Structure 1
Amino acid sequence: MSTQSGLDQTDFTTFDDIRAAVGTTIGTSDWITIDQKRIDLFAAATDDDQWIHVDTDRAADGPYGATIAHGFLTLSLLAPIVQQVMAVSCARMALNYGLGKVRFISPVLVDSRVRGTVELTSVTDIDGGIQVERTVTITAEGSERPACVAQNLVRYLS
């Protein structure tokens, strides 16, 4: 296992290194700004144009005083967050295997900055490799409660 200089990315060079890291926090990503353009693009890509996300005037009078990010937009940030925090150079291939428990705990208001902390939760041997469960906690700057907590499953093949 090594850390690449300047990136704070942990590179797992063997599956045994991953096994040894179970129960530890791998790292925290840089901040990602959730602006209205990102929210609007996600709405267009997913056909989810509910007013709380895209109608800035109506949302200003809504429960949060502004538009909020879609829960699934926040969840989709798992990919860049995990890629920034960890690499598995010993794997020939990585496959997204899905999600375990996912909770959207607090809203992400427009123009918020979010970041994710990645914890290695478990490793299971599978044919040709390992299955890794990571718990990713995404928080918005200044918020006392996380925006999203998700169990992310990935299979690394040797």
Structure 2
Amino acid sequence: MAETITRDAYIKLVGQEIGVSSWFLVDQNRIDAFAEVTEDHQFIHVDPERAARETPFGTTIAHGFLSLSLMSAFAYEVLPSIAGTTMSVNYGFDKLRFVSPVRSGARVRGRFILTDATLRAPNELLSRTSVTVEIEGETKPALVADWLGLIFSA
């Protein structure tokens, strides 16, 4: 996890890139495990032979929601903690687009830009972060998102 900073220091980061995670491997084992948890067994995700034959991807691809779900791991690795935080919650997305498929065996990482941080109450900060999930060696990202979080303090 990244450093701990004050809420005021966090707010001053608006407009800046605040972190880029390390690369995470999205292999067939991870895709299969996600398919089991979500009960989404579409062949483009879980059948390498059929996906190679019947899709333009040449192999299986990760579920879009798997790529999205990895954003939490990326964030824990690189986003600063705010001193005095009692709880943070995912507040959703104002924009989310799946731009490119993540082929089995690819590596992805998250790039975070803090675009807004607004106090909604004395102990409640609404954070808006532009996130790009990049695919190693690809020009287009896996996804782009405008991610909202609520950060509560004592």
The TM-score, its normalising length taken from structure 2, stands at 0.93
Aligned residue type for 1:26: I
Q: 2:104 aligns to what SS in structure 1?
A: coil
Identity of aligned residues (%): 43
| Alignment partner, residue 84 of structure 1 | 77
Q: 1:77 aligns to what SS in structure 2?
A: helix
Shift of 1:95: 1.3
Shift of 1:141: 0.6
1:119 aligns with 2:109: no
1:12/1:18 contact within 8 Å kept: no
Runs of 4+ in 1 over 2 A off after TM superposition: none
Shift of 1:115: 0.7
Shift of 1:97: 1.1
Question: What are the superposed Cα offsets for residues 108-150 of structure 1, whole Å, 9 maximum, x if unpaired?
Answer: 0000011111110111111222010111101111100111111
Shift of 1:99: 1.5
1:14 aligns with 2:9: no
Aligned residue type for 1:66: T
Q: 1:75 aligns to what SS in structure 2?
A: helix
Shift of 1:13: 2.0
Shift of 1:70: 0.4
1:151 aligns with 2:143: no
Q: 2:14 aligns to what SS in structure 1?
A: coil
1:97 aligns with 2:91: yes
1:37 aligns with 2:29: yes
Aligned residue type for 1:68: I
The two structures, once aligned, show a CA RMSD in angstroms of 1.1
Aligned with 1:64 (options 35, 40, 57): 57
Shift of 1:87: 2.8
Shift of 1:12: 4.3
User: Aligned partners of 2:33, 2:145: CA distance in 1, in Å?
Assistant: 23
User: Aligned partners of 2:81, 2:99: CA distance in 1, in Å?
Assistant: 30
1:74 aligns with 2:67: yes
1:52 aligns with 2:75: no
1:139 aligns with 2:134: yes
User: Aligned partners of 2:30, 2:21: CA distance in 1, in Å?
Assistant: 18
Aligned residue type for 1:144: T
The TM-score, its normalising length taken from structure 1, stands at 0.91
Q: 1:73 aligns to what SS in structure 2?
A: helix
User: Aligned partners of 2:86, 2:151: CA distance in 1, in Å?
Assistant: 7
- Count residues in correspondence: 150
User: Aligned partners of 1:44, 1:82: CA distance in 2, in Å?
Assistant: 24
Instruction: Give the unaligned 5+ runs of structure 1.
Output: 1-6
